[in-house]
Chains A and B, each alone.
Chain A
Amino acid sequence: MRFGRTSKAIGVAAVAAMALSACASTGGGNTASEGAGDTAATGGTISVAETNAFSSFNSDTAAGNVDINGKIAYMTRGGFYHIDNELNVVRNEEFGTYEKLSDDPLVVKYTVNEGVQWSDGNAVDAADLLLNWVAESGYANDATVDPETGEVTEGTSYFDYAGDTSGLGLTEIPEIGDDGRSITLTYSKPYADWEIVFGGLNDGGVGMPAHVIAEKAGLADEQALIDLIQGLERGDAASPADPNAELQGVADVYNTGFDTKSLPGDESLYLSSGPFVVDSITPDQSITLVRNESYDWGPTPNVNEITVRFIGAAPDQVQALENGEVDIIAPQPSADTVELLESIEGVTVEVDDQLAYDHIDLNYTGVFEDENVREAFMKAVPRQTIVDRIVKPLKEDAKPLDSQFFVPAQEAYETSAASNGSEAYQEADIEAAKELLNGETPEVRIMYNKDNPNRVDAFALIQESAEQAGFEIVDGGLGASDWGAALGTGTYDASIYGWINSGVGVSGVPQIFRTDSGSNYNGFSDPEADKLMDELMVTTDAAAQDEIITKIDKLVWDSFYGLPLFQSVGLDAYNSERVEGVVYQPNQTGVFWNFWDWKVKGE
């Protein structure tokens, strides 16, 4: 068959037209480009900058324990309480209740309200609480770990829980009640931090959905998981049991099944029981949360959508804020950053204390074995000058921190600071130090992180002042990757570094101050303080706890332990022409703590 030129050309054109129309977009032309989604009408969207990139929907595991994962969990989980900006525990009774049934033995009952559900419609119930409990209590773990190599020599460690298991570890297998909506925990001895040990938003709320984990682990249903957990024996590292394959399966899903940088195709991996649910993720760039339609058990957010964008460096966050790409930022604070932010019109800057604080500790061995030398050295530390030099440029009204245990945001701070004898160490008292030294010139090696400019400044100021008093100061500063390992090795006499106050709860106290405790690097040991700490750990009343800590504070100051220097400064800033309701918060949740109060102006 022969074709003419014209018919060939027409044929080619027809084929081409078909090919082109086949790859046309299905959307109806220009209508899509109008763009304004209907989300805009009723609450608006807010965009927040964060330093780290999202990497897991389970923020409680060792790998997923990154601040941003915890913040996303905070917004997408229901929980029994949250911590507010004044470090109070605020309960959410619309989600559920918890009550102390008895003091001795300590019995606490957690009940989830009826109607609280995951975003797939499955109820949040005792199974979820139970799963959360088994992971956070380390109940079945019976592993023995070689302290030298860190290798598990015997037994099994099931859940990679990144939090502290010592509290829930005291509890027996919980009883289920109220039609499977409550669990009752019975402690083998009173536990001071019982109120903040389970189900709080700051620790990932009620955690992971049990029905999803049961399914992924190959169990028949949620009930099978409940039966599995209730049939467990308490793990005993001394005589490890055979590994429980079913529990290991559950733990594997819990440990790694929710780690992802992109949005999984399987919706059950990112269920929500909180105000928001994850809508989309661009790996390493942004994550977007939208309203959880079924949510009505707790504070309801004003905004419809929150986008978190990941921006590493502080100056880039500032410029993104200035350019309107993000509405709220919380960069690493520095004098430059604060100055930059304050020069931008329409931006509100909040500079306030963080829970981290710098301190100088004196070893109870070597040159500082003599109490007089310790006291003389403490007298020679110019705390006010250090604050003036390091913190004042950021925060106008900064003062030296006057307690080893409390921060000014806590109620007990005033009383403790007034009675612990800290007023004697506000400014360097060279004369008094000289008198105490009585003409001697002790040599003091001070260890600090010399890659941290604040510590270098603090060291220089202390050195100058202490040398006037007659001390011979040796610069023992080490690089960023070495100084941590040197702590507690006895290769120095004094050390300048930072601790983080937990803000709520008291289990951090013995960690630092008990004899031979894990973070007790300077060898502080006081039988009376040890006794008080033992008492503290079984005291369940908050006011009584404060009283005991106030006593310990005094003991620590009286034994010339060293000095707290200043609190680190935190920073957030937001576009106050567009958003309102943003309030500074000193702990890890940061500015997200009251995200439900955020509001877009005019929406």
Chain B
Amino acid sequence: MVTYIVRRLFTAVLILLGASFLVYQLTALSGDPLADLRTSNQPNKEELIQQRIELLDLNVPAPIRYFHWLGGAAKCVVPFVGQCDLGFSITGQPVTEALGRAMGMTILLVSSAAILAVLIGVSLGIVTALRQYSTLDYGVTFMAFLFFSLPVFWVAVLLKEYVAIGFNNFLREPQIPLSTIIIISVVSAVIWFICARGTVPVRLKAAGVGFVLAGGVLWLLSATSWLSSPGLGLPVIAVTGAGIAFGATLLTAGLKNRRALYSSLTMVAVGIVVYFPIQPLLAQATGLMVFLLAVATILVGLGVGYVMGGYDRRQNMSAAVITSFLTAGLVLLDRYMQAWPAYFNNNRVNGRPIATIGAETPNLEGDFWVHGLDTFTHLLLPTIALLLISLASYSRYSRSSMLEIMNMDYIRTARAKGLGERTVVMRHAFRNALIPIATIVAYDIGGLIGGAVITERVFAFAGMGQLFIQALEHVDPNPVMGVFLVTGILALVFNLIADLVYSALDPRVRVKA
């Protein structure tokens, strides 16, 4: 095992060296860094050209310049000796500094999109696999391929036009017109019809429910001006929490396991009880405090599940933890909503909350919640754009993986020995279906840090992709190499991790040293 890893790492270094040489040459040869000055008619043109030649060492041939760069970069891997030196960009900024900042921005941009894409994509894949060739399956497949084939810059422009500019205009007078309510209700009815299972009359009934539900909710939102001063309130948290408790129990333990259900419901009750006492504390929240509260929530969930006892404490505990976590999430969401009017009326926001560019409103003054909302309104559009295009691959992979598993002999055996459908699906099929997904996720994380070039550009996000593309435009190899180093190393490392994870998850695959 160790020999295998060492061997992989050794080849990785060789690959990196070769690839970095190639990338450096390609960047250096990709254009003429003096182009703008050559065509200039400024009186001091010659001096400007000399200055730039000196700045970028242009009189040294690119292959030799590469070794200069390599010499600096090598210092990064020698511990305790000197400092990391990846050179300077054309504007005199150290590349290490630029990289650090760009990575932070990229991680901020892609992480929520990545997590959501995995969660939603995998669940969609599993559900469509379980209901293969149903209207739902076809519908999801159609949508997945549709989104997958949309160019992201176009999606981004549409999102900005309708979700940002249009929605912000709407928020000036947040009254939903009747025609809109009817249209959305019809759409909801169609979705309910597609998702429902059973004979046509049953599904039509579901469609009716969907129509009434959507229409009612929209009417309520409009009538109570909910969009200007949103909030959940205790009743909504209680009802939704109970729903979550049943759902979590259903998935983790099955409703027959009464103790698991009671643990979950207890957690919802705890959430409701602490709702009021915790508000003054939340008013002074910081990121660390919210994190500690989340940890506390999980611990309490574990405790309640344990105390509830029964034949399988683990099931109680996982049901309770999921429920408590989600219920706490509702309380948090409610607190964010309470901060909405303050954010909305902030003089930097001026009643146009959904942003089309950047990661934050410059100089926004406000507490933890206002800043949280600001991050949310800025990340909303890029996250949707990224989510839509990456959803497809996850849902397709997990669908095919699940289908393959469901046809396995051991699934038939499990059914034959009388296990319930929930146990078969959740325990025997779902877990095994995740194995290939795990490797894909590992690859993708490596790729994600490299930045979403187009998305970053369209939303004016100063991340890795932006750094890369701007340096390339100026024929400035140092930042390009910085980005390449980070993405290259991550790609190789995550490739290795993916292989190791596969062998750890699937006993049939063993790494031979």
| Binding between chains A and B | yes
Partner of A319, one of B47, B161, B367: B161
B356–A320 contact, CB under 8 A? yes
* Total cross-chain contacts (CB, 8 A): 231
- Complex Cα distance, B466 from A481, in Å, reads 21
A35–B32 contact, CB under 8 A? no
B362–A20 contact, CB under 8 A? no
A484–B35 contact, CB under 8 A? yes
A285–B101 contact, CB under 8 A? no
A39 to chain B: closest residue by CB: B347
Confirm or deny: B34 has a beta carbon within 8 angstroms of a beta carbon on chain A.
yes
- Complex Cα distance, B359 from A310, in Å, reads 12
A324–B460 contact, CB under 8 A? no
**Distance (whole angstroms) from the CB of B96 to the closest CB of chain A:** 13
Confirm or deny: A264 has a beta carbon within 8 angstroms of a beta carbon on chain B.
no
A512 to chain B: closest residue by CB: B41
Size of interface on A: residues with Cβ below 8 Å to B: 83
Partner of B93, one of A166, A259, A310: A259
Query: Which residues on A sit within 8 Å (CB–CB) of B35?
Result: 480-481, 484-485
Confirm or deny: B345 has a beta carbon within 8 angstroms of a beta carbon on chain A.
yes
Query: Which residues on A sit within 8 Å (CB–CB) of B407?
Result: none
- Complex Cα distance, B280 from A33, in Å, reads 14
Taken residue by residue from 17 to 39, chain A's Cβ proximity to chain B (1 for < 8 Å, 0 otherwise) reads as 00111011101011011111100
A288-B362 contact given A499-B41, A508-B41, CB 8 Å threshold: yes
B47–A165 contact, CB under 8 A? yes
Confirm or deny: A286 has a beta carbon within 8 angstroms of a beta carbon on chain B.
yes
Confirm or deny: B199 has a beta carbon within 8 angstroms of a beta carbon on chain A.
no
**Distance (whole angstroms) from the CB of A288 to the closest CB of chain B:** 5
Restricting to A497-529, which residues have a CB under 8 Å from any CB of B? 497-500, 507-508, 510-512, 518-519
Query: Which residues on B sit within 8 Å (CB–CB) of A152?
Result: 54
Restricting to B36-54, which residues have a CB under 8 Å from any CB of A? 36, 38-54
Confirm or deny: A228 has a beta carbon within 8 angstroms of a beta carbon on chain B.
no
Query: Which residues on B sit within 8 Å (CB–CB) of A36?
Result: 345-347
B60 to chain A: closest residue by CB: A149
B363–A279 contact, CB under 8 A? yes
Restricting to A120-161, which residues have a CB under 8 Å from any CB of B? 145, 149-152, 160
Confirm or deny: B289 has a beta carbon within 8 angstroms of a beta carbon on chain A.
yes
**Contact-residue bracket for chain B:** 35 or more
Restricting to B64-99, which residues have a CB under 8 Å from any CB of A? 90-93, 97-98
Confirm or deny: B357 has a beta carbon within 8 angstroms of a beta carbon on chain A.
yes
B93–A481 contact, CB under 8 A? no
A24–B91 contact, CB under 8 A? no
Restricting to A464-517, which residues have a CB under 8 Å from any CB of B? 480-485, 487, 497-500, 507-508, 510-512
Partner of B51, one of A62, A484, A500: A62
- Complex Cα distance, B192 from A574, in Å, reads 46
Confirm or deny: A550 has a beta carbon within 8 angstroms of a beta carbon on chain B.
no
Restricting to A48-76, which residues have a CB under 8 Å from any CB of B? 53, 55-56, 61-64, 66
- Complex Cα distance, B350 from A36, in Å, reads 10
Confirm or deny: B314 has a beta carbon within 8 angstroms of a beta carbon on chain A.
no
Query: Which residues on A sit within 8 Å (CB–CB) of B22?
Result: none
- Complex Cα distance, B168 from A34, in Å, reads 20
A164-B43 contact given A30-B367, A35-B370, A312-B457, CB 8 Å threshold: yes
A35-B364 contact given A285-B359, A484-B32, CB 8 Å threshold: yes
B367–A25 contact, CB under 8 A? yes
A320-B38 contact given A20-B292, A55-B93, CB 8 Å threshold: no
Taken residue by residue from 359 to 372, chain B's Cβ proximity to chain A (1 for < 8 Å, 0 otherwise) reads as 11011111111100
A518-B356 contact given A27-B367, A311-B460, CB 8 Å threshold: no
Confirm or deny: B151 has a beta carbon within 8 angstroms of a beta carbon on chain A.
no
A56–B92 contact, CB under 8 A? yes
B165–A323 contact, CB under 8 A? yes
A23–B39 contact, CB under 8 A? no
Query: Which residues on B sit within 8 Å (CB–CB) of A284?
Result: 101-102, 105, 462, 466
- Complex Cα distance, B364 from A286, in Å, reads 12
A40–B347 contact, CB under 8 A? yes
A487-B44 contact given A35-B366, A323-B165, A481-B31, CB 8 Å threshold: no
Partner of A162, one of B34, B48, B285, B457: B48
- Complex Cα distance, B93 from A286, in Å, reads 17
Taken residue by residue from 424 to 450, chain B's Cβ proximity to chain A (1 for < 8 Å, 0 otherwise) reads as 000000000000000000000000000
A484-B93 contact given A63-B55, A150-B53, CB 8 Å threshold: no
Confirm or deny: A256 has a beta carbon within 8 angstroms of a beta carbon on chain B.
yes
Restricting to B4-50, which residues have a CB under 8 Å from any CB of A? 30-32, 34-36, 38-50
B460–A310 contact, CB under 8 A? yes
- Complex Cα distance, B32 from A483, in Å, reads 10
A145-B460 contact given A29-B280, A481-B35, A508-B42, CB 8 Å threshold: no
Confirm or deny: B131 has a beta carbon within 8 angstroms of a beta carbon on chain A.
no
Query: Which residues on B sit within 8 Å (CB–CB) of A512?
Result: 41
**Distance (whole angstroms) from the CB of A405 to the closest CB of chain B:** 12
Confirm or deny: B281 has a beta carbon within 8 angstroms of a beta carbon on chain A.
yes
B280–A511 contact, CB under 8 A? no
Query: Which residues on B sit within 8 Å (CB–CB) of A55?
Result: 91-93
**Distance (whole angstroms) from the CB of B452 to the closest CB of chain A:** 15
B88 to chain A: closest residue by CB: A63
B45–A518 contact, CB under 8 A? yes
- Complex Cα distance, B364 from A279, in Å, reads 13
A323-B356 contact given A23-B286, A63-B92, A499-B41, CB 8 Å threshold: yes
| B40, B46, B93, B289: residue with the most chain A Cβ atoms closer than 10 Å | B93
**Distance (whole angstroms) from the CB of A538 to the closest CB of chain B:** 15
A193 to chain B: closest residue by CB: B43
**Distance (whole angstroms) from the CB of B93 to the closest CB of chain A:** 6
A485–B32 contact, CB under 8 A? yes
Confirm or deny: A335 has a beta carbon within 8 angstroms of a beta carbon on chain B.
no
A24-B284 contact given A319-B160, A322-B165, A324-B352, CB 8 Å threshold: yes
**Distance (whole angstroms) from the CB of B281 to the closest CB of chain A:** 6
**Distance (whole angstroms) from the CB of B66 to the closest CB of chain A:** 18
- Complex Cα distance, B347 from A512, in Å, reads 51
**Distance (whole angstroms) from the CB of A493 to the closest CB of chain B:** 18
B367–A33 contact, CB under 8 A? yes
Confirm or deny: B265 has a beta carbon within 8 angstroms of a beta carbon on chain A.
no
- Complex Cα distance, B291 from A20, in Å, reads 10
Confirm or deny: B230 has a beta carbon within 8 angstroms of a beta carbon on chain A.
no
- Complex Cα distance, B293 from A325, in Å, reads 35
Confirm or deny: A16 has a beta carbon within 8 angstroms of a beta carbon on chain B.
yes
- Complex Cα distance, B357 from A315, in Å, reads 11
Taken residue by residue from 278 to 304, chain B's Cβ proximity to chain A (1 for < 8 Å, 0 otherwise) reads as 001101111011001100100000000
Confirm or deny: A441 has a beta carbon within 8 angstroms of a beta carbon on chain B.
no
B352 to chain A: closest residue by CB: A324
**Distance (whole angstroms) from the CB of A577 to the closest CB of chain B:** 12
B356–A511 contact, CB under 8 A? no
Confirm or deny: A163 has a beta carbon within 8 angstroms of a beta carbon on chain B.
yes
- Complex Cα distance, B452 from A414, in Å, reads 52
Confirm or deny: A383 has a beta carbon within 8 angstroms of a beta carbon on chain B.
no
**Distance (whole angstroms) from the CB of A325 to the closest CB of chain B:** 6
**Distance (whole angstroms) from the CB of A89 to the closest CB of chain B:** 18
- Complex Cα distance, B55 from A64, in Å, reads 12
**Distance (whole angstroms) from the CB of B29 to the closest CB of chain A:** 9
A508–B43 contact, CB under 8 A? yes
B283–A30 contact, CB under 8 A? yes
Partner of A20, one of B50, B293, B459: B293
A25–B285 contact, CB under 8 A? yes
Across the A-B interface, the 3 shortest Cβ-Cβ residue pairs = A284-B462, A150-B53, A484-B38
Chain B residues within 8 Å of A, Cβ to Cβ: 30-32, 34-36, 38-55, 58-59, 90-93, 97-98, 101-102, 105, 157, 160-161, 164-165, 168, 280-281, 283-286, 288-289, 292-293, 296, 339, 342-343, 345-348, 350, 352, 354-360, 362-370, 457-460, 462, 466, 470, 475
Q: List 6 A-B contacts (CB under 8 A).
A: A33-B370, A35-B342, A162-B44, A166-B43, A260-B93, A323-B164
Known: A29-B284, A325-B355, A484-B39; 10 extra A-B contacts, CB below 8 A, are A20-B293, A29-B367, A32-B365, A165-B44, A279-B363, A309-B358, A312-B457, A324-B168, A324-B352, A518-B45
